[in-house]
Structure 1
Amino acid sequence: MTAANAAMLEQIKSGQGFIAALDQSGGSTPKALKGYGIDEDAFSNDEEMFGLIHAMRSRIVTAPCFNGDKVIGAILFERTMDGEAGGQPVPALLWDRGVVPFLKVDKGLEAEAEGVQLMKPMSDLDALCDRAVAKGVFGTKMRSVVNLANADGIKAIARQQFAEAKRIAAHDLVPIIEPEVNIKSVERAAADRLLLNEMLAELDAWDGAPVMLKLSLPTEPGLFQPLVDHPKVLRVVALSGGFVRAEACAELAKNPGIIASFSRALLEDLRHQMSDDEFNASLGGAIGEIHAASVA
Structure 2
Amino acid sequence: MSDPEMMQTITQGEGFIAALDQSGGSTPKALKGFGIGEDAYANEDEMFALIHQMRQRVITAPSFATGKVIGAILFEKTMDGEADGKPVPTALWERGVVPFLKVDKGLEDEADGVQMMKPMPGLDALLERAVAKGIFGTKMRSVIAKASPTGIAANVTQQFKVANQIIDHGLMPIVEPEVSLTSPERAEADAILKEELIKALDALPEDRQVMLKLSIPAKAGLYDDIVGHPRVARLVALSGGYSRDDACAELARNHGMIASFSRALLQDLRHGMDDTEFDAALGSAIDQIHRASTVKV
Q: TM class by shorter-chain length?
A: over 0.9
Runs of 4+ in 1 over 3 A off after TM superposition: none
TM-score by length of 2: 0.98
Equivalent residues, number: 294
1:142-184 superposed Cα distances (whole Å, 9 cap, x missing partner): 0000000001000000000000001000000000000000001
Is residue 18–residue 72 contact of structure 1 (8 Å, CA) maintained in 2? yes
Correspondence 1:262-273 to 2 at 5 A: 262-273=261-272
Measure, in 2, the Cα distance between the counterparts of 1:183 and 1:158: 18
- Hey, what does 1:126 align to over in structure 2? 124
Matched residue SS, 1:21: strand
- Hey, what does 2:235 align to over in structure 1? 236
Deviation at 1:274, TM superposition (A): 0.4
Letter in 1 for 2:223: F
1:193-234 superposed Cα distances (whole Å, 9 cap, x missing partner): 000000000000011421100000000000011211111000
Measure, in 1, the Cα distance between the counterparts of 2:214 and 2:76: 22
Return 5+ residue gaps in structure 2 as ranges.
Answer: none
Q: Does 1:258 align with 2:257?
A: yes
Letter in 2 for 1:210: Q
Letter in 2 for 1:234: A
Is residue 68–residue 99 contact of structure 1 (8 Å, CA) maintained in 2? no
Return 5+ residue gaps in structure 1 as ranges.
Answer: none
Deviation at 1:19, TM superposition (A): 0.1
Deviation at 1:68, TM superposition (A): 5.7
- The sequence identity of aligned pairs, in percent, is 64
Measure, in 2, the Cα distance between the counterparts of 1:42 and 1:69: 34
Measure, in 2, the Cα distance between the counterparts of 1:42 and 1:152: 45
Measure, in 1, the Cα distance between the counterparts of 2:158 and 2:218: 24
Matched residue SS, 2:235: strand
- Hey, what does 1:20 align to over in structure 2? 18
C-alpha RMSD of the superposition: 0.7
Matched residue SS, 1:65: helix
TM-score by length of 1: 0.98
Is residue 110–residue 117 contact of structure 1 (8 Å, CA) maintained in 2? yes
- Hey, what does 1:31 align to over in structure 2? 29
Letter in 1 for 2:262: S
Assess, with a 3 A threshold, how the Cα gap between structure 1 residues 91 and 14 changes in structure 2: closer, same or farther: same
- Hey, what does 2:283 align to over in structure 1? 284
Correspondence 1:1-296 to 2 at 5 A: 1=1, 5-67=3-65, 69-207=67-205, 208-296=207-295
Measure, in 2, the Cα distance between the counterparts of 1:45 and 1:25: 14
1:274-294 superposed Cα distances (whole Å, 9 cap, x missing partner): 010000000000000000000
Measure, in 1, the Cα distance between the counterparts of 2:246 and 2:63: 23
Is residue 239–residue 261 contact of structure 1 (8 Å, CA) maintained in 2? yes
Measure, in 2, the Cα distance between the counterparts of 1:83 and 1:96: 16
Measure, in 2, the Cα distance between the counterparts of 1:178 and 1:40: 29
